[in-house]
Amino acid sequence: MNPSRRRALQLAAALALSPALARAQGSLAPAALGYLPWWMAAGWRELRLEAFGRLVLFDAPIGADGALERRAWHKLAPGLAAHSQAHGRGLELALTLLGEGDFERVFAQARPRERLLGECMRYLDDAMFAGLHLDLEGYSDVSADAIAGFRGWLAALHENAAARGKTLSAFFPASDAFDAYDAPAAGRMAWWVAQLYDAHWAESKVTGPLVTRSDTNAVGIARALARLAALGVARERILLSVPLYGWQWAAASERPGAAAL
């Protein structure tokens, strides 16, 4: 295994349970929420879960045809469902779609949208899950047809979830070029997890960008909260993400934004 691949796997393992701390106690959002990735699910008994009101099982990737990648969660995390139910800790399943191209392929056409809705119904009918968590990310604009298709699909998903007493929540990416959500769509989410951590990626040619409190930082805390506020999302429905991992660069200097080597 080459060093780059090994480092990537170590970073993934270090994700473990990433808490997102709530803006307000006693709100619609849980006081703390954690992501539990599938590759660490078997070790859930070793984790301190007492502080978490909600767990998101990560993940069920969305295919271009609308099919969800299936994972045998009952086998991956034996006993977790019963333990969570006994302690009043709801489990959600994260649906992931990472990239505007995949978003376009799924939501601009009726067939993959309908298939995805049907796949979601299976999980909403599963007593293990208290809801679904949408992690849909893009880094540039998508077509009007895809956006309209997504919003219609989300309305149908919300209706079906509510009929089953289940919730929808969502991850809010740092990029402000991706505008799939409008106010009505945002209102269908019980709570949001805002990406308020360093918006870097392994292939970047520069270090960062680092999340700061500066109003001029495109991925800063103030900008992210302002974007959610513009969608009508109240502060008490926002959780601030705090990942427990990092990335080590070889860089030209110690200056933030320096060239990555």
pLDDT digits (tens, 9 = 90+) for 170-218: 998 876 678 899 999 999 999 999 877 666 677 888 887 766 666 666 6
Q: For the residues 220-243, what does the mean pLDDT come to?
A: 85
Supply the pLDDT for residue 132. 99
Which range, of 61-65, 76-80, 87-91, 210-214, averages the lowest pLDDT?
210-214
Domains of the chain: 3-241 (3.20.20.80)
The DSSP line for 80-106 is HHHHHHHTT-EEEEEEEEESHHHHHHH
Q: For residues 210 and 154, give the distance between their C-alpha atoms in angstroms, rounded to a whole number.
A: 32
Q: For residues 242 and 49, give the distance between their C-alpha atoms in angstroms, rounded to a whole number.
A: 16
Residues 6 or more apart whose CB falls under 8 angstroms from that of 142 comprise: 100, 103, 104, 107, 108, 178, 180
Tokens of 244: 């427990």
In angstroms and rounded to an integer, the radius of gyration of the C-alpha atoms of the chain is 18
Supply the pLDDT for residue 224. 79
Q: For residues 174 and 138, give the distance between their C-alpha atoms in angstroms, rounded to a whole number.
A: 10
Kindly report the pTM of this predicted structure: 0.84
From the number of C-beta atoms within 10 Å of its C-beta (0-12, 13-18, 19+), residue 241 rates as: buried
Length of the chain: 261
Task: Decide: 191 and 28 in contact? Cβ < 8 Å.
Answer: yes
pLDDT tens for each residue of 19-32: 555 443 444 789 88
Residues 6 or more apart whose CB falls under 8 angstroms from that of 48 comprise: none
Q: For the residues 151-168, what does the mean pLDDT come to?
A: 98
Residues 6 or more apart whose CB falls under 8 angstroms from that of 209 comprise: 198, 199, 200, 217, 218, 219, 256, 257
Q: For residues 257 and 261, give the distance between their C-alpha atoms in angstroms, rounded to a whole number.
A: 12
Strand 18-22 and strand 32-37: the pairing is antiparallel
Q: For the residues 113-119, what does the mean pLDDT come to?
A: 99
Q: φ and ψ at 58, to 5 degrees? A: -115, 115
Write down the residue that tokens 């991925």 correspond to: 219
